[in-house]
């Protein structure tokens, strides 16, 4: 495990577990909430507080997709579902390229056939940068297509936050994807009513596990009882925000993403958020988490 420190903040990273963040605290107060998800078997029962989603966010329906005239079948990596979830970078051990108190750079090469093609059939090189400062955290993700073929790529970042009775969330989005019984997109509605978070409101009401499209950023979280607020800013290619508020749990997830759920199987959706990288092209993204309070 790697540790980064500023005057008031401490960040712990586990490169061997998908380049995940294990914890982030400021003056001893938890900013992120470590979660053990037994459905993600590759995490082997370890609690993680945030992790990168590469080379796609959320689900690929049945783990199957067609691209450039070929059909591909991915391994299922999410217990209890027929789908493949969150790419494969969270399943892999990352190498440490550099590390000090303020910045850590991790790298990952996925190169079939030496690496499992069932995780992802295309070769890529990824760089993950965590930059800690006293009032926040910046996460940089770069993916380069090292294959000889074009490949479809989406990105995301999956942080868990503590859920309190007074937690409030606010953001602007154009629409929301409503999932069917199979957890895949079934309908698209306006982001209003129970799906509206402008202005900011308490995280209450029916539980959400939805991908919001047309997210213009930023997203705001506020814990009045903890005297703490956080702003999530993410520019292009991030145009989606996944909000997960599971019932009975003491955490929520607010996840910037470039692609909608099952984007690779929805070429008819103009803003699905998938990027086609030509050989040696790169896709670069940054998520910034800025703190106020404490």
pLDDT digits (tens, 9 = 90+) for 226-262: 999 999 999 899 999 999 999 989 999 999 999 999 9
| Tens digits of residue pLDDT in 6-62 | 989 999 999 999 999 999 999 989 999 999 988 888 888 899 999 999 999 999 999
Tokens 């145009």 belong to residue? 239
Residue 154: the pLDDT is 97
| Alpha-carbon span 176 to 187, nearest angstrom | 8
pLDDT at 39: 84
Question: Can you give the pLDDT at residue 184?
Answer: 94
SS3 sequence, 106-137?
EEEEECCCCCCCCCCCCCEEEEEEEEEECCEE
Query: For 117, left (φ over 0), alpha (ψ -120 to 50), or beta?
Result: alpha
Residue 41, pLDDT score: 80
pLDDT band at 80 (very low <50, low <70, confident <90, very high): confident
Lowest mean pLDDT among 79-83, 266-270, 286-290: 79-83
Q: How far apart are CA 139 and CA 83, in angstroms?
A: 27
Q: What is the pLDDT of residue 124?
A: 98
Per the CB < 8 A criterion, the answer to whether 52 and 94 are in contact is no
Tell me the domains of the chain and their CATH numbers: 2-293 (2.70.98.10)
Contact 162, 256 (CB under 8 A): no
Mean pLDDT of 107-113: 97
Average pLDDT in the chain: 95
Give the global pTM.
Answer: 0.95
- Give me the percent of the chain exceeding a pLDDT of 90: 89
Kindly tell me if the per-residue pLDDT of 294 is higher than 70.
Answer: no
**Confidence band for 142, pLDDT divided at 50, 70 and 90:** very high
Give the phi and the psi of residue 74 in degrees, each rounded to 5: -90, 155
């Amino acid at each position: 495990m790697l540790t980064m420190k500023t005057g008031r903040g401490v960040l712990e990273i586990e490169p061997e577990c998908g380049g995940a963040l294990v914890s982030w605290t400021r003056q001893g107060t938890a900013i992120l909430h470590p979660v053990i998800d037994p459905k993600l078997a590759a995490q082997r029962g370890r609690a993680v507080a945030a992790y990168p989603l590469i080379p796609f966010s959320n689900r690929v329906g049945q783990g199957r997709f067609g691209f450039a005239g070929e059909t591909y079948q991915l391994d299922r990596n999410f217990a209890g579902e027929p789908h493949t979830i969150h790419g494969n970078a969270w399943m892999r051990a990352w190498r440490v390229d550099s590390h000090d108190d303020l910045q850590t750079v991790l790298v990952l090469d996925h190169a079939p056939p030496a690496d499992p093609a069932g995780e992802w059939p295309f070769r890529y090189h990824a760089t993950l940068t965590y930059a800690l400062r006293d009032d926040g955290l910046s996460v940089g993700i770069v993916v380069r297509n090292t294959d000889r073929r074009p490949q479809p790529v989406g990105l995301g970042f999956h942080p868990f936050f503590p859920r309190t009775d007074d937690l409030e969330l606010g953001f602007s989005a154009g629409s929301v994807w409503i999932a069917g019984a199979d957890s895949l997109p079934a309908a698209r509605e306006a982001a209003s009513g129970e799906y509206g978070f402008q202005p900011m409101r308490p995280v209450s009401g029916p539980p959400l596990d939805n991908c919001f499209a047309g997210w213009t950023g930023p997203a705001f979280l506020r814990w009045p009882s903890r005297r703490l607020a956080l702003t999530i800013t993410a520019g292009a290619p991030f145009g989606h925000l996944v909000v997960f508020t599971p019932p009975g749990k003491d955490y929520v997830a607010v996840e910037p993403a470039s692609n909608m759920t099952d984007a690779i199987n929805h070429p008819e959706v103009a803003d699905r958020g998938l990027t086609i990288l030509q050989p040696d092209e790169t896709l670069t993204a940054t998520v910034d988490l800025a703190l106020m309070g404490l």
